[in-house]
Amino acid sequence: MEEAGKTVNMSRKISRRRFIKRTGAAVGVATAAPAVRAQRAQRSATGGRPFDRRTRIALTVNGAAHEIAVEDRWTLAELLRDHLNLTGTKIGCDRGECGACTVLVDGKPVYSCSQLAVWADGKSVQTVEGLTGQVGDGLPASARADLMRASASPLSALQQSFINHDAPQCGFCTSGQLMSATALLAVNAHPSADEARAAMTGNICRCSNYNHYVAATVAASQRSTQNSQNSQNRQNQNVSADSAISALNVVGDTRSQNASAGSAISALHVVGHATPRIDAEQRVSGKAIYTADVKLPGMLYARVLRSPHPHARIKRIDDSKARALPGVKAIITHETCRVVWGAGSIAGGQQYNDEMKRITKQRRYAFNNPVRFAGEPVAAVAAVDRHVAEDALQLIAVDYEILPHVLDQEEAMKPDAVKIWPDGNVSLNNRNEAQPISQRRGDVDAGFKSADHVFEDRFTTAFVHNAQMEPRSAVAHWEGDKLTVYTPTGGIANCRSDIARDLEMPPEKVRVVCQYMGGNFGNKNQNQDADLIAAVLAKEAGAPVKLELSRNEDFIGVHGRWPTTQYYKVGLKDDGTLTAIQLRGYSGMGPYRKNTGAIGGVDVYQCPNTETVVYPVYTNKTVSGNFRGPEYPQGFFGMQSMMDEVAFRMKMDPVDFILKNMTRKFRDETPYTSYSLDECIRRGMEAFDWKKKWHSAGAGQGPIKRGSGVAFLSFRAGLGRSNAVIRLDASGKYTVHVGVTDVGAGAKTTMALIAAEALGVPLSKIEVVWGDTDRCPYSVGESGSRTTIMTGDAVVAAAQDLKNQIAEKGLPRGNDVLLASASPNPQLEGKVRNTFGAHFAEVEVDAELGRVRVMKYVAVHDCGRVINPLTAMSQIKGGALMGIGMALHEDLLYDPRSGVALNAGYYGDRVLTHRDAPEIDVIFIESDDGYGPFGAKSMGEASKIPAVAAVANAIFNATGRRMKDLPITRDKILSGFEARNSGLEVQR
Amino acid sequence: MKSFRNVNPRDVRHAVTLMQQARGAGQDATIAGGGSDVLGMMKERLITPDVLVNLKAIKGLDEVKAENGPGRGVAIGGLITLDALSTHPLIRRQYGVLAEAAADVATPQIRNVATLAGNVCQRPWCWYYRNGFKCYKNGGDTCYSFAGENQFHAIFGGGPSYIVHPSDTAPALVALDATFRIVGPAGERVVPAAEFFTLPRVNAAHENILKDDEALASITLPASSAGMRSTYHKIMDREAWTHAVVSAAVVLHMNKDVCSRAAIVLGGVAPIPWRVPEAEKLLVGKRITPDIAAQAGEAAVAGARPLAKNAYKVPLTQAMVRRTIEALVATA
């Protein structure tokens, strides 16, 4: 990077992305995609008897003897889940990459997805269900005795410890974590944290609650004697705040701080106390029912055939052989299923609705022709079991005319790039114009003219997959003209209206149910094509249909964070005051516009002249969509890396630069409802020891280098409206009906706490009804970090309504009930309501081995009042760890010539494991701005946003080399090697 | 998975017979050790056997046995799990490089089922192969990595295929001068570990000399001596559960502080475990100083031929070899 006027270009080396562009352009038309999964069909036709020979086996499961005839091709996981109804064992990847399916076989943890059921003949198997009550026979006697000591509780000491530490967030990985930890404790009663990490490292947690899983496991043995006391608390359904707080202390966290930026906040009697989730027991015992656990009588199993080509016209589909396969009940293709998937392509990329249905002309169907990305659905089959459905896919012959493709967003902007849509590759906005997303303030040209220094640089970010532990799935069931869809959605109400709109049905004829959900992280506040495909197949077959996506399909067939190219130009005065910021960006949307494609980050600086122009560009990669803070983690990486570099060039401490230039009013104009950025940074510096740790960039001698980085946060949650209904009966039970699904963040518990506080009753009196459109009123859905604010506000208002009614009518008696409801529409009166934060990271870089480790991490957040410090802690830690993964690892990599993703899945995408996760120190700065329920602000997305930049800036501080392209992998750390070793022959 | 029949052999000979019988009947047969990887490949339909020969049914082939007589080494059953191998007291004490290599494989869940023989015979994890591209390993006649995404591919011994051998235990076994006992229809043969693995220029479709109806039954390690020290260092792209980006198995025979014999075998850099004799020679007959270790690191990468995106492996390997030697000497 050089100051403008001297040299503007900063990338001397050929980046990977550029290489892709070159080769992609060169061979685009000519290259036929190789056989990917879908196309292998033709090669390996089924050997297929549909109803396979069975082998009789005898095994012990959780102490009970079973004799059962199994198909040789059933996995052990399949036997447990589908045939013994032990659905606590989850399938996250079906490839031995994630650990959700971990069970104990003869006392040892194994991936049950990667063992055959026939191989378990004569074995003793223990599942999560076996931890509760009857204690595992697979364990040594001493371990069994330890577990039995917890007999006052139906839960093991470990399960109880998991609850106390809020180890499960979405809960989908929890059974596996429990089994690995149980096996560890059986052989090592007092493991260290590192021993726990090693034992559980085969268990991925995408909520990234690794700190709490480890702490819970380490504490379990120490706490076993206290266990009965804790479980007693829990059984009383009381706020076991004491045990939870002590659990937090064990974790070593900084507890919620009431030191506030403005007004000190008052203590409340339920809200603000660390409280285990009200459904925690379900999450640690395998009782929580996720979509794939739903089993209906006569249910069929569906599979989807996907395009192996990134861009192709389907000339012919011959499914006659598949139809002839015994057990196949329905097949649909683009020829037979003309259902529009409205939420899959929206002009402008905002929330889908009737108006957008009218406007959107770049339509996406459940099945499209041409197909526009490798992984796009081509056909779907429903059959009597999952294997027959898979066999049938192999028998569908598809004749493709291969079209040229383009993968990179900048390449797609070139005049000679292949047009993915007739309108061109700039995605249409909500007026159907091919225009960029633009925002201007002041006069940037004048701003640059008045600057003493002008800097320019370019940053790129990768396609990063949400990778939530629960693969997408749907179970569709028609009863007459009423359709019930079980599906993992964070917005049951929007999902229902989307399904109704797409299937042209009245919304009241659609019921959407989501009781437990294995992670959200974005783009689940609408329907999915899986919902539609399952519904159409179920209609066609006349039977309920379950469609479960494989992990690979979830990666390549759904969506991830949009990759970006960001060009910045920044002007400033000699004293470091900003005069102008300009961003020109390109976001790769895939071939449909599911979401906006914006790049956010400019607005968090105080600067009179700014210009942001971002092009959402169509490419033939997997579709991009919202992922935790949709436009921010990548935007903050670019913007705050840029500003860190500017501070370096100006010879300023990055913290001083931030304090000088950070936002104080929204876009320098609109006041915030409360403001605490100075406080966040001050507290973070102290906790991190910034003044001592930060040094001049690349100053360290020797190959092992330490460095410190900082990034800050100002974030505005989404808006929306929600309703709540509270019912009080004569027994004194308050039933709160809210349209949340609890994606893992703890919304159900949050709503219960808010209700208890607002009603002035103990938590034990509250019951929550959630996750079912037939039983819950509208909620805006769990997206945009707004559930606590919006639905929580409605709960407060409904509670007020109920209190008014009680005051008027008295408490209900006999068979009477009181029913209260609210649909508030909170207004901010000309203010902007943001949350604030600062992240500080210290990394160790081994400059010879290219290894980067995060050694210390402090995350300071002002999320207003913290409703539940226990779950809030999990949210912040998880977000920060996800950000570290985005900084260092994650990138869905495409083969330039074939346009096929190469590294889909937890193994290939290098998602963080237990061993990768550092401890995250969390500091809450609480405030009450008078809005939201008790002053609560948003939290979930915010915690990821500054993390990527903080880590990247720390690497700069350590090495003196600016990392401009995500992810910061080993090859980038070690690059520059060619210069040092010129003369080395490289094969091309 | 395509429909198939699981069969349980009594012993390795029987396993071989069952495979032969299946093939004789026009069926495809595959053997499964721990099964994790084989099932994954079957789910992807990379392989579609009609008959799956389940070696786990065989009893007694999962032990570490001292060969009769002093100085005779140990025989390790091919079906020993990586977990059992990595925690076996004798292996840990005398053949640390092998215990460490086994402990570095994948995750506890996989090590609890994965076998030593299975790890040695594991198919490549090249993403083109695993995604079903019609490459040399998949019945085709090209290597997609050469002009594609080759950041994890070979810098030595490549061509026409540029895969890297995926096994952690294989470099350790080559460094230990192990011998492999192979059982086939005609009987047994014993080969040195180094001769077991084949370069793509010899056979681009397979990574070793096993024929379709042969199985690796057991592995013998020569006796260890008092002055023998060994270790395995592995570079991963995250802290667990990846194959080696680069690894080094180093075995040094020390006479007081002078090295009398050295074996350095690299993983993750070539289609076979890659021995670097020039680096070994630099150590023999010397006291190993940091300078000698650095020279060995340099010698280890002499002749490397990186592809467009994996040149970083060259300095990485160089530093890794140097540091592994230094670490081993420091344990004295």
The CATH number linked to B277 is 3.30.390.50
Which strand (E) or helix (H) includes residue A524? none
In this predicted structure, what is the pLDDT of residue A784?
78
Mean pLDDT of B205-212: 96
**Residue range A218-226: mean pLDDT, rounded:** 69
Chain A closest CA to B82's CA: distance in Å?
13
CB-CB under 8 Å, A849 with B316: yes
- The conformation of residue A470, written as its DSSP 8-state character, comes to S
Check A987 against B305: CB less than 8 A apart: yes
Q: How do residues B30-84 score in pLDDT, each as one tens digit?
A: 999 999 999 999 999 999 999 999 999 999 999 999 887 777 899 999 999 999 9
Do A711 and A730 lie in one domain? The reply is no
Q: Is residue B169 part of a domain?
A: no
pLDDT band at B331 (very low <50, low <70, confident <90, very high): confident
What ranges in A847-946 are assigned the alpha helix state H?
869-888
CATH number, position B36:
3.30.43.10
Query: Residue A599 to residues A461, A564, A565, A939: CA-CA distances in angstroms?
Result: 11, 8, 10, 20
Residues A783 and A852 in one domain: no
Nearest chain B CA: its distance from A895 CA (Å): 6
In a domain, A562, yes or no: no
Contact (CB<8Å) B311/A36: no
User: Which residue of chain A has the CA closest to B320?
Assistant: A849
Q: How far apart are CA A87 and CA A64, in angstroms?
A: 16
In a domain, A134, yes or no: yes
B144–A970 CB contact, under 8 Å: no
SS3 content of chain B, % helix, strand, coil (to 5): 30, 20, 45
pLDDT at A25: 30
Whether B25 and chain A come into contact, CB under 8 Å, resolves to no
Both A130 and A195 in a single domain? yes
Are A84 and A153 in a shared domain? yes
B83 touches chain A (CB under 8 A): yes
* Inside any domain, residue B190: no
pLDDT number for residue A815? 95
CA proximity to A523, closest of A550, A486, A560: A560
Per DSSP, the three-state class of A30 is: coil
Distance of residue A897 Cα from the nearest chain B Cα, in angstroms: 8
- Mean pLDDT, rounded, for A323-346: 97
In this prediction, residue B72 carries a pLDDT of 83
Mean pLDDT of chain A: 89
* Beta carbons of B306 and A986 less than 8 Å apart: yes
Cα–Cα distances (Å) from B123 to A931, B7, B11, B138, B290, in that order, read 59, 22, 23, 11, 37
Could you tell me if residue B296 is inside a domain?
yes
pLDDT for residue A133? 60
B36 contacts A96? CB cut-off 8 A:
yes
pLDDT digits (tens, 9 = 90+) for A845-863: 999 999 999 999 999 999 9
Total structural domains in chain A?
4
Q: What is the ipTM of this complex?
A: 0.98
B53 is a domain residue? yes
Would you tell me which residues 242-261 of chain B have a C-beta closer than 8 angstroms to some C-beta of chain A?
A: 242, 245
Element (H, E) at B283: helix B277-283
Q: Which residues of A4-25 are buried (b: 16+ CB within 10 A; e: fewer)?
A: beeebebeeeeebbeebbebbb
Interval A14-48: pLDDT, tens:
333 333 333 333 333 333 344 444 333 333 333 34
> What is the pLDDT, as a whole number, of residue B112?
98
- Alpha-helix runs per DSSP H in A733-830: 747-759, 787-809
Q: How far apart are CA B291 and CA B294, in angstroms?
A: 5
Q: Is A248 helix (H, G, I), strand (E, B) or coil?
A: helix
DSSP secondary structure string for all residues of A844-872: EEETTTTEEEEEEEEEEEE-BS-S-HHHH
Same domain, A127 and A205: yes
Percentage of chain A beyond pLDDT 70 is: 87
Find the mean pLDDT for residues A234-253: 38
Structural domains counted in chain B = 2
Residue A920 in any domain: the answer is yes
Q: What are phi and psi of B272, to 5 degrees?
A: -135, 165
Strands (E), B59-152: 64-66, 74-77
Please check whether residue A554 lies inside any domain of the structure.
no
Position A4 pLDDT exceeds 90? no
Separation of alpha carbons A791 and A575, rounded Å:
46
For helices A210-223 and A174-187, angle between their N-to-C axes, nearest 10 degrees: 40
pLDDT for res A266: 86
Among residues B57, B81, B100, which one ends one of the domains? B57
Strand partners, A103: A110
* CATH code of A842's domain: 3.30.365.10
Residue in the structure block whose two tokens are 């607005």: A603
DSSP conformational letter for A254: P
Residues in chain B: 332
A964 in Cβ contact with A460 (< 8 Å): yes
Of A797, A822, A847, the residue at which a domain comes to its end is A822
Strand partners, A772: A513
Structure tokens at A671: 């006041």
Mean pLDDT for the stretch of residues A672-680: 96
A849 and A944 belong to one structural domain: yes
Contact, A562 vs A404, CB < 8 A? no
How far off is chain A from B129, nearest CA to CA, in Å? 10
Residues A82 and A130 occupy one common structural domain: yes
Residue B272 lies in a domain: yes
**Furthest C-alpha separation in chain B:** 61
For residue B103, pLDDT over 90 is answered with yes
> Which residues 161-190 of B have a C-beta within 8 angstroms of A?
none
In a domain, A4, yes or no: no
A15 touches chain B (CB under 8 A): no
The answer to whether the CB of A631 falls within 8 A of the CB of A646 is no
Which of B36, B109, B307, B309 to probe by mutation at the A interface, max A CB count within 10 Å?
B109
Strand-by-strand arrangement of the A300-306 sheet: A328-333, A377-383, A300-306, A545-548, A473-479, A482-486, A510-513
Is-contact A794 A824, C-beta < 8 A?
yes
Both structure tokens of A121: 């003949």
Question: Is 60 exceeded by the pLDDT of residue A781?
Answer: yes
Q: SS3 for A476? A: strand
Residue A619 covered by a domain? no
Flag whether B145 is in a domain: no
B-contacting residues in A 101-120 (Cβ below 8 Å): 102, 105, 108-111, 114-116, 118-119
pLDDT confidence of A260, banded at 50, 70, 90? very low
CA of residue A829 relative to chain centroid, distance: 33
The percentage of residues in chain A with a pLDDT greater than 90, rounded to a whole number, is 81
Q: Which two tokens stand for residue A577?
A: 């005051």
Amino acid in position A849: L
Tokens describing residue B132: 């079903």
Calculate mean pLDDT across residues A916-928: 96
CA distance A486 to A290: 9
A18 belongs to a structural domain: no
Q: What distances in angstroms separate CA A714 from CA A263, A682, A950, one per listed residue?
A: 19, 15, 14
> Do residues A757 and A816 share a domain?
yes
Domain housing B242: 228-330
CA separation for the pair A262, A256 (Å, rounded): 16
For the segment B158-176, the average pLDDT, to the nearest whole number, is 98
| Of B109, B307, B316, Cβ closest to residue A850 | B316
CA distance A745 to chain B (A): 26
Residue A579 included in any domain: no
Contact with chain B for residue A47, Cβ under 8 A: yes
> In CATH, what number is assigned to the domain containing residue A244?
3.10.20.30
Q: What is the pLDDT of residues A355-408, one digit of tens each?
A: 999 999 999 999 999 999 999 999 999 999 999 999 999 999 999 999 999 999
At residue A247, the pLDDT reads 43
Say yes or no: A39 contacts chain B, CB-CB below 8 A: yes
* Lookup result for tokens 């102490």: A63
**pLDDT confidence of A147, banded at 50, 70, 90?**
low
Same domain for A244 and A331, yes or no, is no
The band of A409, judged by pLDDT with boundaries at 50, 70 and 90, is: very high
Both A230 and A97 in a single domain? Answer: yes
Rounded distance, CA A188 to CA A190, Å?
Answer: 6
> What is the domain range of residue A397?
37-43+292-403+473-548
Could you say which of A529, A548, A567 is where a domain stops? A548
Same-domain pairing of A685 and A752: no
Whether A231 has a pLDDT exceeding 90, the answer reads no
Of A725, A712, A869, the C-alpha closest to A802 is A725
What pLDDT is recorded for position A17?
34
Of A758, A771, A866, the residue nearest A822 (C-alpha): A758
Residue B168, in any domain of the structure:
no
Which of B57, B81, B96 finishes a domain?
B57
**DSSP one-letter string for A651-715:** T--HHHHHHHHB-SSBTTTBPBSS--HHHHHHHHHHHHTHHHH--STT---SSEEEEEEEEEEEE
Query: Residue A284: pLDDT above 60?
Result: yes
Q: Residue A978: is its pLDDT beyond 70? A: no
Judged by CB atoms closer than 8 Å, whether chains meet at A981 and B314 is answered as yes
Are A682 and A773 within one domain? no
Q: Quick one: tokens of B121?
A: 């015979």
Last residue of a domain, one of A822, A845, A868: A822
Nearest CA in chain B to A102: B109
Write the DSSP assignment of A265-297 as a string of letters.
Answer: PPP-SSTTS----TTHHHHHHT---BGGG---T
Q: Name the band, by pLDDT with cuts 50, 70 and 90, for residue A526.
A: very high
pLDDT at A519 over 70: yes
